[in-house]
Structure 1
Amino acid sequence: MQKQPMTPDAIRDLVERVTSAPGYTRSVGTRVESAEAGRVVMSLAKNDGLLQANGFFHGGVIAGLADHAGGGAVSTAMPSGRFAVTVNLQVSFLAPAKGQSLIARARAIQVGSTIGVAHVDVASVADGVETPCAVAIVTLRGVDFPAK
């Protein structure tokens, strides 16, 4: 029996539940801005614990946001009861992230029965102006959710 696609409410619930669960994404303050099948937008406000020595967002924080957003995009394109975990994360940094927040826009570009791939654009936001700071390709594997 083939599993059904997720409903819009189930998509939002999954992304919110994973983002707010105890762990990294909750501790750094990741926010879900929007979530639909194959597309997720997430943001992260600046705080001192997320910065590198020059006061910019740390590259690991940018990569973490891209990873989580990409995982959300692929997870929302999978059948109900499946969840995507990272197999490979490739990040290219474009500019220092000097803004007050980060925004990551992720879209699933391929979702198969086992593996999915997402493209993620990350921008630094300062005074309402977005400056691209990274682009990522995230490859993920589908697992049962919740994990057993």
Structure 2
Amino acid sequence: MAHDAIRELVERVTYAPGYTKAVGTRVESAEPGYIVMSLAKTDDLLQVNGFFHGGVIAGLADHAAGGAVTTAMPPGRFAVTANLQVSFLAPAKGTLLIARARALQVGGTIGVARVDVVSIADGAETACALAIVTLRGVDFPAK
């Protein structure tokens, strides 16, 4: 699949109506089996102490993993989550989250991805979460 087609595929899922569009998820880059997504800080995405909420971090990791595995699947298929395991490493204190997702294994129906999530504050990255995501390939819904 050509680079432009891969990015178009990931953007199609990310910018469709729903959660990822509503919270402002952005596709930064997309290549076969590797996706980078970001999410800017807004008051609606924070917990009581002003850090990104853990559910928001998990949601970004989940979606990035889906994109990474989807780009490695046959045309017409996309990945949906079967299992999401997130380990939180540090508070996400920054103004931006970056999720870097890599497909580790993609088979006919199941794929696994690793996602490293960092928080950016004053130009410095802090690792805030690590996710391992198992996904199942399904057919795209009819338009």
Report if TM-score (shorter chain) is over 0.5. Answer: yes
Deviations 1:75-110 (A, max 9, x none): 001111110000000000000000001000000000
Alignment of 1:34-49 (within 5 A): 34-49=29-44
RMSD: 1.0
What is the TM-score when the length of structure 2 is the normalising length?
0.97
Cα 1:147–1:98 change in 2 (3 A) is farther
Secondary structure at the aligned position of 1:77 is classed as coil
Give the corresponding residue for 1:108: 103
| Alpha-carbon distance in 2 for matches of 1:85, 1:27 | 19
Q: Which structure 1 residue ranges, 5 or more long, are not aligned?
A: 1-5
| Alpha-carbon distance in 2 for matches of 1:12, 1:36 | 7
Is 1:87 the counterpart of 2:82? The answer is yes
Superposition deviation, residue 7 in structure 1: 2.4
Secondary structure at the aligned position of 2:71 is classed as helix
| Alpha-carbon distance in 1 for matches of 2:19, 2:11 | 14
Give the corresponding residue for 2:122: 127
Is 1:136 the counterpart of 2:131? The answer is yes
Deviations 1:5-35 (A, max 9, x none): x322221111111111100000000000000
Runs of 4+ in structure 1 over 6 Å off: none
Alignment of 1:2-13 (within 5 A): 6-13=1-8
Q: Which structure 2 residue ranges, 5 or more long, are not aligned?
A: none
Residue among 41, 50, 58 paired with 1:55: 50
